[in-house]
Amino acid sequence: MTISVAVSGASGYAGGEVLRLLAGHPSVTIGAITAHSNAGSRLGELQPHLHALADRVLVDTTVENLAGHDVVFLALPHGASAAIAAQLDPSVLVIDAGADHRLEDPVAWEKFYGSPHAGSWPYGLPELPGHRDRLKGANRIAVPGCYPTSSLLALTPGFSAGLLEPDDVVIVAASGTSGAGKAAKPHLLGSEVMGGMSPYGVGGGHRHTPEIEQGLSAAAGESVAVSFTPTLAPMARGILTTATAKVRPGVTPEQLRAAWQEAYGREHFVRLLPEGQWPATKMVVGSNYAALQLAYDAHTNRVIVTCVIDNLNKGTAGGAVQSMNIALGLEETAGLMTQGVAP
Amino acid sequence: MTISVAVSGASGYAGGEVLRLLAGHPSVTIGAITAHSNAGSRLGELQPHLHALADRVLVDTTVENLAGHDVVFLALPHGASAAIAAQLDPSVLVIDAGADHRLEDPVAWEKFYGSPHAGSWPYGLPELPGHRDRLKGANRIAVPGCYPTSSLLALTPGFSAGLLEPDDVVIVAASGTSGAGKAAKPHLLGSEVMGGMSPYGVGGGHRHTPEIEQGLSAAAGESVAVSFTPTLAPMARGILTTATAKVRPGVTPEQLRAAWQEAYGREHFVRLLPEGQWPATKMVVGSNYAALQLAYDAHTNRVIVTCVIDNLNKGTAGGAVQSMNIALGLEETAGLMTQGVAP
Amino acid sequence: MTISVAVSGASGYAGGEVLRLLAGHPSVTIGAITAHSNAGSRLGELQPHLHALADRVLVDTTVENLAGHDVVFLALPHGASAAIAAQLDPSVLVIDAGADHRLEDPVAWEKFYGSPHAGSWPYGLPELPGHRDRLKGANRIAVPGCYPTSSLLALTPGFSAGLLEPDDVVIVAASGTSGAGKAAKPHLLGSEVMGGMSPYGVGGGHRHTPEIEQGLSAAAGESVAVSFTPTLAPMARGILTTATAKVRPGVTPEQLRAAWQEAYGREHFVRLLPEGQWPATKMVVGSNYAALQLAYDAHTNRVIVTCVIDNLNKGTAGGAVQSMNIALGLEETAGLMTQGVAP
Amino acid sequence: MTISVAVSGASGYAGGEVLRLLAGHPSVTIGAITAHSNAGSRLGELQPHLHALADRVLVDTTVENLAGHDVVFLALPHGASAAIAAQLDPSVLVIDAGADHRLEDPVAWEKFYGSPHAGSWPYGLPELPGHRDRLKGANRIAVPGCYPTSSLLALTPGFSAGLLEPDDVVIVAASGTSGAGKAAKPHLLGSEVMGGMSPYGVGGGHRHTPEIEQGLSAAAGESVAVSFTPTLAPMARGILTTATAKVRPGVTPEQLRAAWQEAYGREHFVRLLPEGQWPATKMVVGSNYAALQLAYDAHTNRVIVTCVIDNLNKGTAGGAVQSMNIALGLEETAGLMTQGVAP
């Protein structure tokens, strides 16, 4: 079986990583590669690491160019996906790496994004309870945000198992700079980011906050409130998420570990590390893996879960391709990077 | 006035930064420079950035070599300071950059360090309430740990003012690798740390935890429990601390800001940034400054304070020299770096 | 066809990269994985990015453990390969990633390595003229050094075509720190290497110098003398080589470009970039590609060729697997990474 | 004596470093601080590391605002300095950190900069033979480029002493990204530069080439031709220059070393390191020092000199302040950073 795939937003980091994976996918033929201001350029000028695709020429991101493929990846700024998706054949699988279709709650959407809600699509994080089933045969998939991917993988097992208090979640995450995209902004210059760390979107303002709360609340069966603080780290790729929650009375450390073990024991891409080994982003950079470890702090009665992913891979393009594989009934690991690139 | 100063542990990072500052201190003459295995070497081989001291030869760290100075800096592994200090003239000012004399509680000391408690000394963080007075004329000073420096500067104003709940503090901090010292360990190799982040000491096990709790409890007037997670960031210097606590009922965002403003408005080296500006470690690297910003997250009723310091400067050597200045009645800013080095 | 492969030196960086590639090679089954002091450990403790192999246990590097495979990779310190290879069945393909069998000249070997010469093996850089033929069916292959790989790819086309003067070659190369290996040495600590650059082995002393001269002399048909200066760059992977040589009288820029185009126009893994585009190590990190560009400086009558590779991949493990593929008659690109990992 | 100084271009990296130094200069009062598009902003928004100047407000870069000071620093894009300087009182000391007045040869200027030549000013590299005398009492000073500073310090002693061949100089230099300025360009994003190296301006096209040739030719007393290749390294600050030249027949390694020793033995800021110690940029970052080492490669009869500076300090702002000190008859080291900031 050969699946024809179009990729929009191909000059950005997310689009580039989608292309990197698809170029090695055994069942895929890459069709249209589209961009906005870079239409007409050779891909080799914009993504020079994609050697096999260097001579492909980017075309405009239009419905005409995207139509006629089995799958369309949208790696566009938020707000741009909905209009395009609405014009694509309903039978085409559209995978939106942007934010437009992640949130179920129109009020939360409008509060954080300031535009009309476009509706929500099946959420492409297969390792969450029940999500794999929803992805099978889906024609529309919303790829989770990178911070929500790591945050939900970190804490969902505890909430699903009813072991955690819903009103006291604190998440602090450090992301590589590729999460901020390829648009040239002064604070993202190498001179500014190398050798330093800084927070941003502090105090509940980051747009991934409602997405994290949506996922944890679904797992908990009640409303979960999250204090989320993202920080920018001096590395190109990777997210380290430190997520903590109060443990319900009477829950033992063994029960905690068992819940995570149960959740991920049969998952290919999510690894609960052996006790005593802590995750590091370089374990997973370049790959579709998440690695986790948890600790129980008796002193404060909290579980602390640290989780690492590659924000562009498992956090974006890898999760997208994994979800595509499930939707189309392919081998779930097809085309995905199963080893990190280290050191 | 010329003060003669001896510096032990001069081949390490803390000792090197102490020397960097003292070399520019207008009232100081640097006497003995001591080391353990590196005794006999030229300083230029070990600290080649200290150009003015390149031809100084390191001598053994012995009581004999350290005696006869007005001030002795100890930058030694924990456990080594107490025995030396006990043999130095009580009238000499001994400043211990190590951990030996930070904790007041022998039980906490023995739990975290596993050795007999050597007693506590005045704590060299002058910006904490009442501490500057205790440092004046002191002959023994314990330099705070780097994480406690940033954590206590972050949250003390809120606890001193009675605005925060004591039982729900979560601190996640990212440190540059120099905080782990100069001993060659595989996980600290450049190949391992560049481009990645990793947590360590998760779950309450880091030795700075009781020191942070000691300081916050003193400010609160009641026992404060802290969940502290340190992480290693791919940068040589700097700490970014994200500290959050529940706000007491009825406290307004204005009251919060006023408390921090009141605490630091007249401090030279601790800057509450203007609203809208977030700290970044590169603001303070190379200098004795701490920069802070706070946000109130109405959603979770938490205050989130982010604080940046240079772990080797304000977090170690700068705090030590500042405390020395206070103890000796010198200008508090003498010899200290009052501008960061950026980019 | 399934080829059984043993990998020695599996706890180091070269061994890790060999395993990363072999784990994705369609014709390979990984047999014994061996180490010296780390024998008995799980691979997941030492190479945690190799998720698929995490539970494999390392065994001792002995002839017994390595015997019985179709292919044996040796990623050992120099001096250790010859003795082991001598005891392995002559019909087994032994691929030595170390230096022992690279140099043809015993005098050069002894001058630079200070030990008896073990003889030379076919040299695993298939893109050099005539080398692919020598590798076909070979049972012993010496993997080139990382600096020689980039240096020879940079300049060989000009010497083969008789366009360059042999007595005036200057090469300056910047390498990521993984080239220095995983042994913990103080000057390789992250705190030391992040944010800085430094030279080493200056003045002709680096052991890769005679290897570069050997290759260029073979191409030129006369003795080529090289001034080679390596430098250490603050990155984990990658080499940027700047190689310059005087151009023979009467040679035109067009002839220069044509020579490189002719040499690499049909090569899969060596790319002469379009005019106007300069190589960057991040184009090739994680992949088996080399990317080059050349410029003619009329002012000094020199050609300047810049060449980038991933030192662990094309410069070590990738070149080794590519050579194995050729020796065994497999598809030359099998198991190799054909896209870089960027950003 | 108090000298009033105005600084233009204060929002850029060069201007920021000039302000950092002047803020600690014992004889200076900082007057007007000017910018172009950032006029009206607080300095604390743009240069948040300059704590002591955080509340100063930037004014427009106009002759009116710059007039009335004893010294005016121009840190402007090339082409902008000449017009302003022409309108400033001839008795005011104008120090141009830009390129406008560095080149003596109008033909070279026009070839590389494409605009009319504004004439040359005394060249602010005091350690070159005879230059200190030219700077004393000067009212106009051209600050050298950063690459020329390190290149000329590296090779001038050999040419002055007549030991080197003039027709075979090859220089390869690696610079931190701050050398490329603060304007947001995609290829300078942190995501692009972290973890990688790349060349640029290869083949004789970099504008610092004629400046290097001008200086070396003056030292040699004959025309020196240079092949210069700059590269971009993943660090914010620092330049490592590797400069090589053929040695004249009969010259011994001892004569070479003696020439450099003679040139720099009494210099404060230029250090020929002890034999066996190689320079590293982190020895000098944050300081006004240059550190050098040389090696003689008997094999190719070349001297290889490696030289490190901080491109923003000795390479720009430090050299500028040092030259100001000389021009005004102040202590030459006043206000300069005499220790590097490491690690």
Q: What is the largest CA-CA distance in chain C?
A: 63
Count interface pairs A-B at CB distance under 8 A.
172
CATH superfamily of D3-142+314-327: NAD(P)-binding Rossmann-like Domain (3.40.50.720)
Pairwise CA distance, residues B147 & B309, whole Å: 9
CA neighbor of A193 nearest in space, from D232, B293, B195, D42: B195
For residue range C292-326, list pLDDT tens digits in order: 999 999 989 999 999 999 999 999 999 999 999 99
Scanning every residue of chain B, which has its alpha carbon at the shortest distance from the alpha carbon of A205?
B297
> What residue ranges do the domains of chain B occupy?
3-142+314-327, 147-311
Across the interface, of B13, B180, B236, the residue whose CB is closest to C194 is B236
Q: Which residues in chain A are closer than 8 Å to B281, comparing Cβ atoms?
A: 195-198
Q: What pLDDT does A338 receive?
A: 86
pLDDT band at D321 (very low <50, low <70, confident <90, very high): very high
In D, which residues are within 8 Å of A234 by CB distance?
190, 194
CB proximity list for C192: less than 8 A, separation 6 or greater: B190, C186, D282, D343
Q: Do C283 and A341 touch (CB under 8 A)?
A: no
Return the residue of A nearest to B282 by Cα: A196
B188 touches chain C (CB under 8 A): yes
Residues C191, B13: C-beta atoms closer than 8 Å:
yes
Residue A60: is it exposed, middle or buried by C-beta count within 10 angstroms (0-12/13-18/19+)? middle
Q: How many residues does chain B have?
A: 343
Between the alpha carbon of residue C249 and those of residues C169, C253, C256, the distances in Å are 16, 12, 12
Nearest chain B residue to D55 by CA distance is B274
Judged by a CB distance cut-off of 8 A, whether residue C343 touches chain A is: yes
Catalytic residue among D103, D146, D226, D243: D146
Q: How far apart are CA B318 and CA B26, in angstroms?
A: 15
Written as tens digits, the pLDDT of chain B (343 aa) is 799 999 999 999 999 999 999 999 999 999 999 999 999 999 999 999 999 999 999 999 999 999 999 999 999 988 889 899 999 999 999 999 999 999 999 999 999 999 999 999 999 999 999 999 999 999 999 999 999 999 999 999 999 999 999 998 999 999 999 999 999 999 999 999 999 999 999 988 899 999 999 999 999 999 999 999 999 999 999 999 999 999 999 999 999 999 999 999 999 999 999 999 999 999 999 999 999 999 999 989 999 999 999 999 999 999 999 999 999 999 999 999 889 999 9
- Is C146 catalytic? The answer is yes
- Which member of C189, C192, C233 has the closest CB to residue D234? C233
B302 vs A contacts (CB less than 8 Å)? 170, 227
pLDDT for res B225: 96
Digitized pLDDT (tens) for each residue of chain C, 343 residues in all: 799 999 999 999 999 999 999 999 999 999 999 999 999 999 999 999 999 999 999 999 999 999 999 999 999 988 889 899 999 999 999 999 999 999 999 999 999 999 999 999 999 999 999 999 999 999 999 999 999 999 999 999 999 999 999 998 999 999 999 999 999 999 999 999 999 999 999 988 899 999 999 999 999 999 999 999 999 999 999 999 999 999 999 999 999 999 999 999 999 999 999 999 999 999 999 999 999 999 999 989 999 999 999 999 999 999 999 999 999 999 999 999 889 999 9
Q: What angle do CA B315, D22, B127 make, to 5 degrees?
A: 25
Which of D144, D199, D149 lies closest to D308, judged by CA?
D149
- Chain centroid, CA C186 distance in Å: 26
Report the C-alpha gap between B42 and D343 in whole angstroms: 18
Asked whether A174 and A231 are in contact (CB, 8 A), the reply is yes
Q: D touches which chains (3+ CB pairs under 8 A)?
A: A, B, C
The answer to whether residue A49 neighbours chain D at the CB level (below 8 Å) is no
Would you call A193 and D190 a contact, using CB atoms and an 8 Å cutoff? yes
Residues of B in contact with A191 (CB under 8 A): 343
Mutate one of A146, A185, A188, A194 to test the D interface: name it (highest D CB count within 10 A).
Answer: A194
Whether A203 has its CB under 8 Å from any CB of chain B: the answer is yes
β strands within D109-163, DSSP E: 140-142
Interchain contact A177–D (C-beta under 8 A): yes
Residue C12, min C-alpha distance to chain D (Å): 20
Q: Which of A146, A154, A163, A245 is catalytic?
A: A146
Q: What is the DSSP letter of D332?
A: T
Contact B199 A229 (CB under 8 A): no
Q: In this complex, which of D47, D195, D339 lies closest to B52 when CB atoms are compared?
A: D339
* CA separation for the pair A96, A99 (Å, rounded): 8
pLDDT at site A204: 86
Using the Cβ of B192 and the Cβ atoms of chain C, whether some distance falls under 8 Å is answered with yes
Which CATH number does the domain A147-311 belong to among 3.40.50.620, 3.30.360.10, 2.40.50.140, 1.10.460.10? 3.30.360.10
Give D 228-257 residues with CB within 8 A of chain C: 229, 231, 233-238, 240, 242, 244
pLDDT tens-place string over residues D108-163: 999 999 999 999 999 999 999 999 999 999 999 999 999 999 999 999 999 999 99
**Closest-approach residue (CA) in chain A for D183:** A186
User: Looking at the partner chain, which of D189, D195, D236 has a beta carbon nearest the beta carbon of A188?
Assistant: D189
C-contacting chains (≥3 CB pairs under 8 Å) = A, B, D
DSSP D245: E
Dihedral angle sign, alpha carbons of residues A254, B171, C190, A231: positive
DSSP helix/strand/coil, C335: coil
The torsion angles phi and psi of A262, rounded to 5 degrees, stand at -65, -40
Contacts of D205 (CB under 8 A, 6+ apart): none
- In sign, the C-alpha dihedral spanning A46, A49, A55, A61 is negative
pLDDT tens digits, one per residue of D164-213: 999 989 999 999 999 999 999 999 999 999 999 999 999 888 999 999 99
Measured between alpha carbons, how far is B26 from B21 in angstroms, rounded to an integer? 10
User: What's the Rg (C-alpha) of chain A?
Assistant: 19
In this complex, is the C-beta atom of C273 within 8 Å of any C-beta atom belonging to chain D?
no
Q: What is the pLDDT of residues A28-70, one digit of tens each?
A: 999 999 999 999 999 999 999 999 999 999 999 999 999 999 9
Nearest chain B CA: its distance from D283 CA (Å)? 4
Residue type, A157: P
Strands (E), D169-288: 169-175, 198-199, 226-232, 239-246, 270-272
SS3 A188: helix
**Which of C51, C271, C287 lies nearest to residue A271, judging by beta carbons?**
C51
Residue in D with minimal Cα distance to C177: D195
pLDDT band at D77 (very low <50, low <70, confident <90, very high): confident
Instruction: Look at D191 and A234 and tell me if their CB atoms are within 8 Å.
Output: no
CB distance D189–A195 less than 8 Å? no
Q: What is the 3-state secondary structure (H, E, C) of B28-63?
A: EEEEEEEECCCCCCEHHHHCCCCHHHCCCECEECCH
Q: Helices in B282-317 by DSSP H: which ranges?
A: none
B108 touches chain A (CB under 8 A): no
Using the beta-carbon criterion (under 8 Å), do A191 and B244 form an inter-chain contact?
no
